[in-house]
Amino acid sequence: MKSIALKDVRSKLPPLSDIKTLREHARKDIENGAVTSGYAADRKNVITMLNEALATELVCVLRYKRHYFMAAGIHAAPVAAEFLAHAAEEMSHADLIAKRIIELRGEPNFSPDGLAARSHAEYVEGDSLKGMIKEDLIAERIAIESYREMIAYLGDQDPTTHRMLEEILASEEEHAEDLSSLLEGMKDYEKL
């Protein structure tokens, strides 16, 4: 077998900084914590974007909680259980986003002032069980679109935020699927 020269292997490696440069960069601006000089995204824009995502998640928590208690009141136990599970997952998304904002040296905005305006999704109470499920599905579809756009905006400039948003996106897609199955199930029920 033909041996490969080290020079050829090196030329195939991605362009990495040498050890000295890496160490120098790490020592500079140490107060920036996890944000190093190699951070390629516009940090302020990313924080603003993440704060909008945080508001969206918080509005979704509130809407799902309202729907959970309303559905529980009309004895729709399986649907109520789904709403409650989604509320908990939206809260965990909010926590992930807030933690990332801190890592990026920003401040997570939990203020109720202007919360609905900062959120992409809306807080709609819904007038029936079906109406609630529909509104939740619409909100999930909004979240899916906005997370997809955020992921595309980031590209490879901030891999950690990128990966977190991809995980959240996958979860929102599951939520949308759960809700559309519930709606489908109701159609069968209505036929009886």
Are the C-beta atoms of residues 121 and 59 closer than 8 Å to each other? yes
User: Could you tell me the smallest distance in angstroms from the CB atom of residue 11 to Fe ion?
Assistant: 44
User: Could you tell me the smallest distance in angstroms from the CB atom of residue 33 to Fe ion?
Assistant: 26
Half-sphere exposure for 16 (CA within 13 Å, toward CB): 10
Nearer to Fe ion, 118 or 175 (CB): 175
User: Could you tell me the smallest distance in angstroms from the CB atom of residue 143 to Fe ion?
Assistant: 6
Structure tokens at 122: 């809306």
Does residue 114 come out as left (phi exceeding 0), alpha (psi in the -120 to 50 range) or beta? left
Structure tokens at 27: 């020592």
Q: What angle do CA 43, 48, 54 make, to 5 degrees?
A: 120
Are the C-beta atoms of residues 66 and 127 closer than 8 Å to each other? no
Give the residues lining the site for Fe ion (CB under 5 A): 57, 90, 93, 140, 172, 175
User: Could you tell me the smallest distance in angstroms from the CB atom of residue 192 to Fe ion?
Assistant: 30
Nearer to Fe ion, 35 or 85 (CB): 85
Dihedral angle at the C-alpha atoms of 93, 94, 95, 96, nearest 10 degrees?
50
End-to-end CA distance of the chain: 72
Structure tokens at 83: 């709403």
User: Could you tell me the smallest distance in angstroms from the CB atom of residue 128 to Fe ion?
Assistant: 21
